[in-house]
Structure 1
Amino acid sequence: MKRKKILFFIYTMGKGGAARTLLNIMNNLDRNKFEPMLVTLNHDGEYEQYVKEDVKFIKLEQKRLRNGIRPLAKLIKQERIDIIFSTIPNYNMVAILAKMLSFSEAKVVVREADHVGGSFLGNLKCFIYGRFYNRTDQVISLSEGVKQNLVTKYKIKPNDIEVVYNPLDIVNMTNEIESGTLPNHLKPIFNKGEKVVVTAGRLVKQKDHHTLLKAFAKTNDQVKSQLVILGEGPLEEELVSLAESLGIQDRVHFIGFQDNPYIFFNQSDLFVLTSIHEGFSHVIAEALASGTPVVSTNCKSGPSEVLDEGRYGDLCEVGDEHAISDAMTNVLTLAPEQIQERIELGKERADFFNAPKIVSRYEDVILNTFND
């Protein structure tokens, strides 16, 4: 079979789950079947350094998303691309429009990664996205919950959607943990003889760090702990102020984006996610793979699927600081053998999302577009 040229399009390979997922798919694709190419706009991204050397990497000259439509269309035609793959609504729209302008026979596969909508404006945007998604060759949802959202808000037929979970590059994660070390200035946090709670995600409303800080303050009254927050975002100053008002400023550490988050997960006693909504929650799966127990909100729609309705981690109501604190306290006070049991269960679950298995599923779904 002739190798298919597949173009992955994203705004930037910067900090975020979408870029990390594309990276895991590209790097693990069967090179006997696919010839991968990565196209971004003219921005530098932290994950660029991890793209395999055999992936042709092109940066368009444009920096604004809408200005990239025509150059991308030209590239699709020049490179004789067989498949265009993109993720996140705005990027998907650009990919779809570029394909239309290219007048090529390329297949378009779009991936929806979040459970969005709810407000009138949000639902209207979803409906508009859906009109374009219906012009593609395949829509991929990263969870069953997101699929249902695509059906109800985007008005896409269920049979036109395939659910494929996020791939975890467990081999790479294990190497990062085994070879990595904590930065010297952060080692004291983990050497205080206290429990360490960790979280990771953009400092934005969706992640609801406000509830996390309130829950941590209550837990800290029971179990003296340190809270490590990986991520950057516009709410950092506000969250620092909240930590101060709660009297936990000396126990909360905003350490920004980290190239190797897995070493932090592995060295911590508990991972906590307090999101208001998620599509899949890649970071929960990464925490499980890193050997870290998980407490999460039961938000729509990813965490319950990753944790299999609570079998592999605790699920709490969104915004319920008391329930989240109780779950955190419970995990932090478990006996060593109980903790080890949870760690082993978590790794078992993480293996379900191992990249070779999931990417093979992506390959099948993508190649099936040529059989329609």
Structure 2
Amino acid sequence: MKKIKVLIFIYQMGGGGAARTLLNIINNLDRSKFSPVLVTLNYNGSYEKELQDDVVFIKLPTKRLSRSIWSLAKIIRSEEIDIVFSTIPRVNTIAIFAKVLSFSKARSVIREADNLGGGLITNLQLLGFGMVYKFSNQIVSLSEGVKENLVRRYKVKPSDIKVVYNPVDLYRIKEKIKTEKDIKDKYKTLFETEDKIIVSAGRLVEQKDHKTLLKAFSKVNAQVKSRLILLGEGPLKNQLVEEAEKLNVADRVHFIGFQNNPYVFFKKADVFVLSSKHEGFSHVIAEALATGVPVVSTDCKSGPAEVLNKGEYGELCEVGNVEDMTEKILHILTLDKEQVTEIVSNGYERANYFDAKVIVKRYEEIFLQALNQ
């Protein structure tokens, strides 16, 4: 039987959640039915080395998304692609245009990954994306909240959207946890302490609202001696360092940048905290649960409440509310061992719900349905 060729298009295989999700989908596709082709712009991404050896990987000769349409269209035609799959609005738009201009029989499946919205200009842009999305064969939303946003802001019909949660590669996480050597010597000393360890991971950008986390941490530390480890890079690092200094906790806050293996850090922590203003799904929360660490997250639109099932599998706090976040973190840090063990056990159970082996089968069904339209 001829394998179905799926072209996956993304800006770059960098360290963000979208790239990690696509990595999990690519590596877990059933190779007896599907043949993956990954196409990115001309950037080097940290997840490239984790791709399966049989993935056809093509980098376009440009770093400009707007200049990639014709090159992508040629690949769709020359590689005889059956499904063009993409994520993130601007990338989705280019993928749809390229599919149309390829004059091929390829089908387009796009994935919406965040709960976007804002001022007049931003909302008009989303309406524009929604108009282009109508030329795709299937729209996938990674949460019910993102689906509601697609209907409200993009004016997409609910019947045109399928909700599929992010796949979490539980096997890969377990294997990576075993490799503690990935914690470099300079970081190992962070865990050689009686202090409680709080970990957070995400780009140092406004969306992740690390300022609220730092303020909450300063209050937590005043009651329970703690260390805050921040994984991730971004333009706000200097501002956040200054904020930590103002709060007199600079010696207890550790910015360690992007880590190829964040799971060993999660595993050693007493609590994982997400302070975001908005998310699509919050892949990192599901991954944290899979490592066996209790979770505190903002109840932002639209992923955390779905991942944690309205607080059943982790603590939810109000977005931007320092006092609420402080209270929820302290609650976790002051639990006894039996209570922590129960939370960890429940977290493992919830993580299994997002197992890549299960979720990717849903994507496979969607690809097959798109082909039969």
The CA RMSD measured in Å over matched residues stands at 0.7
Note the residue ranges of structure 1 that are not aligned, 5 or more in a row. Answer: none
Range that drifts further, 180-189 or 287-296 = 180-189
- Residue aligning to 1:16: 16
TM-score (norm 1): 0.99
Range that drifts further, 204-213 or 188-197 = 188-197
- Residue aligning to 2:214: 213
Report whether the alignment pairs 1:231 with 2:232.
yes
SS of 2:244 mapped into structure 1: helix
- Residue aligning to 1:252: 253
CA deviation after TM superposition for structure 1 residue 224, in Å = 0.2
- Residue aligning to 1:302: 303
Q: In 1, distance between residues paired with 2:179 and 2:261?
A: 10
- Residue aligning to 1:185: 186
Report whether the alignment pairs 1:276 with 2:277.
yes
- In structure 2, give the amino acid aligned to 1:45: G
- Residue aligning to 1:362: 363
Q: Deviations over 1:120-150 (max 9, x none)?
A: 1121111000001011000000000000000
Aligned residues: 372
CA deviation after TM superposition for structure 1 residue 180, in Å = 2.8
Report whether the alignment pairs 1:96 with 2:112.
no
Residues 83 and 371, structure 2, Cα contact 8 Å, conserved in 1:
no
Q: In 2, distance between residues paired with 1:117 and 1:334?
A: 38
Trace 1:279-294 onto structure 2 (pairs within 5 A).
279-294=280-295
CA deviation after TM superposition for structure 1 residue 369, in Å = 1.0
Residues 180 and 260, structure 1, Cα contact 8 Å, conserved in 2:
no
TM-score (norm 2): 0.99
Percent identity, aligned pairs only, is 57
- Residue aligning to 1:151: 151
- Residue aligning to 1:315: 316
Q: In 2, distance between residues paired with 1:277 and 1:122?
A: 15
Q: In 2, distance between residues paired with 1:82 and 1:71?
A: 17
- In structure 2, give the amino acid aligned to 1:4: I
CA deviation after TM superposition for structure 1 residue 118, in Å = 2.9
Trace 1:339-354 onto structure 2 (pairs within 5 A).
339-354=340-355
Range that drifts further, 237-246 or 120-129 = 120-129
Q: In 2, distance between residues paired with 1:296 and 1:121?
A: 30
Residues 199 and 269, structure 2, Cα contact 8 Å, conserved in 1:
yes
CA deviation after TM superposition for structure 1 residue 370, in Å = 2.1
- Residue aligning to 1:131: 131
Residues 204 and 234, structure 2, Cα contact 8 Å, conserved in 1:
yes
Residues 82 and 371, structure 2, Cα contact 8 Å, conserved in 1:
no
Q: In 2, distance between residues paired with 1:345 and 1:371?
A: 40
CA deviation after TM superposition for structure 1 residue 61, in Å = 1.0
Report whether the alignment pairs 1:120 with 2:127.
no
SS of 2:47 mapped into structure 1: helix
Q: In 2, distance between residues paired with 1:239 and 1:84?
A: 39
Q: In 2, distance between residues paired with 1:138 and 1:169?
A: 24
Q: In 1, distance between residues paired with 2:50 and 2:137?
A: 29
Residues 269 and 293, structure 1, Cα contact 8 Å, conserved in 2:
yes
Note the residue ranges of structure 2 that are not aligned, 5 or more in a row. Answer: none
SS of 2:109 mapped into structure 1: strand
CA deviation after TM superposition for structure 1 residue 188, in Å = 1.2
SS of 2:371 mapped into structure 1: coil
CA deviation after TM superposition for structure 1 residue 19, in Å = 0.5
- Residue aligning to 2:372: 371
CA deviation after TM superposition for structure 1 residue 247, in Å = 0.3
SS of 2:251 mapped into structure 1: coil
- Residue aligning to 1:61: 61
Q: In 1, distance between residues paired with 2:5 and 2:371?
A: 13
- In structure 2, give the amino acid aligned to 1:48: E
CA deviation after TM superposition for structure 1 residue 307, in Å = 0.2
- Residue aligning to 1:82: 82
Q: In 1, distance between residues paired with 2:367 and 2:121?
A: 32
